[in-house]
Each structure stands twice: as structure tokens, then as C-alpha cells.
Amino acid sequence: MKYYVPRFELGVLSNSQRLMEDKFGGLPWGIPARFWPICRSCGKSMSLIVQLNHHDERLNLGRKGRCLFVFMCSNPDSYCEPTWNSSEGCNSSFVVEPEALENNLSFPPDVAEPETAQIRNCENCAYDQSWVADRTIWIQTEVRISKWIQMHDEIPKSDRSNFTDETKYSETSEELLKSIYSGTKLGSVPSWIQSPEYSDWTFVAQFDDYFGFHTPLPEPDDIGCPVGQGDRYNYQRFLPKTQRLDSPREVTQNENRSTNDDPRWFCEGPNFGDAGSGYLFIKFDGELLPKSEFIWQCH
């Protein structure tokens, strides 16, 4: 089956966003305040995990211009735990029609004077803990997608449903299961960490809990966070003159890089537990908009 893997660009190293694009984290683009999800547990605005645009092959949402959003609570004051499924009310995913989308970056509705509020990466809540709740916008690490690369795996399209059905999945060979790409992707089938779920939904995406970059390792002052280099026997950590609160907590050189297809460096992504993965599903149920569900699993 075909699937698509992204090439990432870190938001703090990119130009200011000017239009709708596929992205992870940061401030969402185009979502009206009335659609912004509020965490059922803590009552605060959730943070964007990813927004993805309709594409006839990569992500078919049934109509050009539609955008799928995934949010999850990242409030450091409450550390809401049940973010692993939408039934607990601490994550939310939904599709928005193009007519409802706005042409600008969006701000959470519960922040006073959002244009002047402090934007902080939720990984950096330990730095300078004197934040003011209604004047702080918590974001996940912002990562733009510069392009999608089409790939193929060994999974026959006719067997797609086997990978969300627990009984059929248990009968699949270990060799075939190990061949499934387990990183961030659109399409094909899920690489489950625990066990299959959502047998009556269509799997559309899997998200890793880290981002790998193919660009040269940035300088600490350019990225505004510590930069780690070397291997475990000769590891050095270089600090910036000033820590940016909207940057990742740290980026690290890939010590195991052996080919040009391997990322040169990494940073942490969304908190999906212990080395976890997120899974996104949609369902066309005779309604105007497809439904969507997001879950994550970890080791």
C-alpha cells in the first residue's frame, strides 16, 4: 500500500506562517474561536497537535479545502492524564469546512489579550515558572511539513481491515507486522504498540512522539535551546545565550545516522507516554462532515 512520510522544518527556524499548511504544534491556522476545544478535565483550552489539509490521495476528507484538526490538553497547571482517547474529553479531533476557516493564526478563546500573551512550549514549563494562566498560550513544538514523500509497503490493500480487527491482527505473521512503518505517516495501516482498536473506522495517520530533521544541526543561539552533540561516551551540551520559551526543550544530534535518509537531529514531539504513538481515524457516516477520532498508545 502507498503511504506518505513528512520532511520536517522546525517552526522557530522557519519564516512566519502566511497561509494554511500541514503542520504540527504551534498556533493553529484558520480555526474560529468557537471551534477551539476545551479540556473537560481542567476547563482550559487544548493545544494543537496537528492540522492536515484534504488531499485526494494522502488524506481524503471528502472535499477540497477541508482541514482536520487534532488537539490535546497540555496545561502544565493540571497535567491532565486521560489524553489517550477522546472519550475522556482531554483530546479532540474534528474536520472543518473551508467556508468556516479564517485566513490567520488563531488564538485560544480563554486567554486575555492573546496578541500580547506569552507563547510557551509546554516542554519548557520548568523554565521561569512565573507564568500567568490567562496571559500564557501553551503550544506543542511547532513543526512545518516541507513535503510529503510517497512510499510503499508489503501490505495488500485487500488486507487493510485486518490491522484494526484484533482477531485477524493476531493471525498476522510477525514478519509482516515488523515490516510496517511505525513513524509519522499518512496512509497504509497502523503499527500498534499495544492492540488494535477502531475496527469500524478508517485509519488515516500515525504520529511519532519525536521529530527528526534532515537539515544541518542548528546553532544554540539560532534555535534558542540547548543543542546536544556526540554519542553517549562523548556527549556535549551547548547552551544558547537566551532560552526561547517557544522552542523545544533541547535538540540532539542523531548519533546513529548512517544514510542520507536518516534524520540529522531530533527534538521531542507530543507527549504520548513512554515512547508512544498517536493514531488518527475517520468515518464517513452519511453525514456532511466525516467524523474523526484520535488515540495514543505507549509501551
What is the per-residue pLDDT across 66-120, written as a single tens digit (0 to 9) for each? 999 999 999 888 778 899 998 999 999 999 999 999 999 999 999 888 889 999 9
> Of 126-130, 184-188, 206-210, where does mean pLDDT reach its minimum?
126-130
pLDDT at 129: 67
- Average pLDDT value over all residues in the chain: 93
pLDDT at 286: 77
Q: What is the DSSP letter of 221?
A: H
Given the C-alpha cell 488563531, which residue does it identify? 106
User: How does residue 128 score in pLDDT terms, banded at 50, 70 and 90?
Assistant: low
- Residue 287 in this model has a pLDDT that exceeds 80: no
Q: How far apart are CA 56 and CA 231, in angstroms?
A: 42
Q: Per-residue pLDDT averaged across 141-158, rounded?
A: 95
Q: What does pTM read for this prediction?
A: 0.96
- Residue 55 in this model has a pLDDT that exceeds 90: yes
How many Å separate Cα 50 from the centre of its chain? 5
Q: What is the DSSP letter of 26?
A: S
Three-state DSSP state, 24? strand
Q: Per-residue pLDDT averaged across 185-199, rounded?
A: 96
What is the per-residue pLDDT across 236-254, written as a single tens digit (0 to 9) for each? 999 999 999 999 999 999 9
Q: How far apart are CA 48 and CA 70, in angstroms?
A: 6
What DSSP string describes 28-79? -BS--GGG--B-TTT-SBPEEEEEEE-BTTTB--SSTT-EEEEEE---TTT-
Each domain of the chain, given as residue ranges in start order, spans: 1-209+269-299
Pick the CATH number of 1-209+269-299 from 2.30.320.10, 3.40.1280.10, 3.30.413.10, 3.40.640.10: 2.30.320.10
Q: How far apart are CA 90 and CA 151, in angstroms?
A: 33
How many Å separate Cα 192 from the centre of its chain? 17
pLDDT at 78: 77
Burial of 57 (0-12, 13-18, 19+ CB in 10 A): exposed
Q: Per-residue pLDDT averaged across 223-241, rounded?
A: 93
- Residue 125 in this model has a pLDDT that exceeds 80: no
pLDDT at 80: 83
pLDDT at 16: 93
Which cell is 228 given?
A: 546536544
pLDDT at 127: 65
Three-state DSSP state, 174? helix
Q: Per-residue pLDDT averaged across 5-15, rounded?
A: 97
- Residue 264 in this model has a pLDDT that exceeds 70: yes
